[in-house]
Structure 1
Amino acid sequence: MRLFSHHYLAIALILLVSCQSSENLPKSQPATTQATPFQKIVTLDKNFKIATTETIYVPVYSHIYHHNKQEIFNLAVTLSIRNTDLTNSLVLTSVRYYDSDGKLVKKYLEQPIQLDALASTDFFVNRNDTSGGLGANFIVEWVSQTKISEPIVEAVMIGTDYQQGISFTSPGRVIKKQNNRM
């Protein structure tokens, strides 16, 4: 009986989300530096000694095809960046969103932001923003002043329509790494 009621609860949640009009959803935001109480905007001057730098590629999907490729299912994208180090901070220097043709769609940071130990941040692409296309991606760049554990960078895609819902994650992959001797 408990399984049965959980099934109806899940259906009710999907219906609630899918009944929201897509016209009432917020449009994509202009490029801004997003800083929360756990982060602070930083300036990388000559006194900032870089020990580690990484560039991470994160594949994302602004839509997928369904019904034999006859229809497009739009998806909202949340890029999540989590500092996994227990004691040290990292600095996000760039978060850029590219479309299927490799053209820059949006820069999410105007200035670097610091993620303290175990802090996280996220960046959002509205489900109505299909500018990225099926082959969209984020490029995330970060630096640290000491050797730290690598952050977790992944995207979560979700969409609901017609009493159907889909969600999945896409992990980031390091495409460039440099460790400087200190």
Structure 2
Amino acid sequence: MRSKAITRSDCAAWRIGASCRAGLIVAGLLLASAAPTAAQSRADAPSLEQTFASSLTTLPAEPLSTSGAVYVPAYSSVSIAQGKARADFSVTLSVHNASETKPLVIRRIAFFDGAGKMVQSYLKAPVALKPFATVEAFVPTLDTRAGTGANFVVDWAGSGEIAEPVVEALMLGTFANGHYAFISQGRPIRTTGKD
């Protein structure tokens, strides 16, 4: 349902006077507090390190001789109706350590828009992921900052020979009375030092 803003001229037309002005103030306060902005939601959200503390371990003392990067398309917004409309989706990026025995160091999880500009970084410092553990980064449906060309880059490293991480994005949303979910798999864009 689309709401119509009440203006001062409406008050004059209705000849309600002071009570209408009070209604304007109350309506304004309700609208201002009704839904937090995407920026407020991000600021209030716990960090990845806090949320996935049980998946993390101490950084390895050994040199990190193997490293790489994974690129993941993330369709947080999709153009529809010959480009005249847009459907927005939530995105859950999952980073899985595919090694059974070694920790995987995640150096960066960065979210980019369609112009290649970084929109958000999900890590303040590198973290080590336990063997077979997973961490996730989440983009809510209302966060449309990255547009239709959104993508993630995950930089990782490990000591010696280690399995490359499995990185995927799950998009989930509702449009035109239908529910949609689809997965985008990461693609390695750089690997160095593999034995």
Query: 1:133-148 maps to which residues of 2 (within 5 A)?
Result: 133-148=147-162
Please give the alpha-carbon distance, in whole angstroms, between the structure 2 residues aligned to 1:25 and 1:61.
23
Please give the alpha-carbon distance, in whole angstroms, between the structure 1 residues aligned to 2:169 and 2:76.
11
The equivalent of 2:168 in structure 1 is 154
The equivalent of 1:87 in structure 2 is 101
Among all aligned residue pairs of Structure 1 and Structure 2, give the percentage whose two residues are the same amino acid: 32
Q: Does 1:117 align with 2:135?
A: no
1:40-69, Cα deviation, whole Å (9 max, x unpaired): 364x8xx54012100111111111122332
The amino acid that maps onto 1:57 is Y
The amino acid that maps onto 2:161 is K
TM-score normalised by the chain length of structure 1: 0.77
The equivalent of 2:42 in structure 1 is 29
Shift of 1:38: 1.7
Extract unaligned runs of 5+ from structure 2: 1-33
The equivalent of 1:59 in structure 2 is 73
Are 2:67 and 2:155, in contact at CA under 8 Å, matched by a contact in 1?
yes
The amino acid that maps onto 2:128 is Q
Q: In 2 relative to 1, CA 41–108 (structure 1 residues): closer, same or farther, beyond 3 Å?
A: farther
1:122-173, Cα deviation, whole Å (9 max, x unpaired): 1001111111111111110011012111110011111113421111111111
Q: Secondary structure at the match of 2:119?
A: strand
The equivalent of 2:92 in structure 1 is 78
Q: In 2 relative to 1, CA 26–117 (structure 1 residues): closer, same or farther, beyond 3 Å?
A: farther
Bigger shift: residues 59-68 or 140-149: 59-68
Please give the alpha-carbon distance, in whole angstroms, between the structure 2 residues aligned to 1:99 and 1:119.
28
1:54-105, Cα deviation, whole Å (9 max, x unpaired): 0111111111122332221101111000011111111101111110000011
TM-score normalised by the chain length of structure 2: 0.72
Q: Does 1:105 align with 2:122?
A: no
The amino acid that maps onto 2:155 is E
Name the structure, 1 or 2, with higher relative contact order (CA <8 Å, separation 6+). Answer: 1
Q: Secondary structure at the match of 1:37?
A: helix
1:20-44, Cα deviation, whole Å (9 max, x unpaired): xxx75883524944242121364x8
Are 1:50 and 1:180, in contact at CA under 8 Å, matched by a contact in 2?
no
Please give the alpha-carbon distance, in whole angstroms, between the structure 1 residues aligned to 2:171 and 2:164.
22
The equivalent of 2:180 in structure 1 is 166
Are 1:154 and 1:169, in contact at CA under 8 Å, matched by a contact in 2?
yes
RMSD value, Cα: 2.2
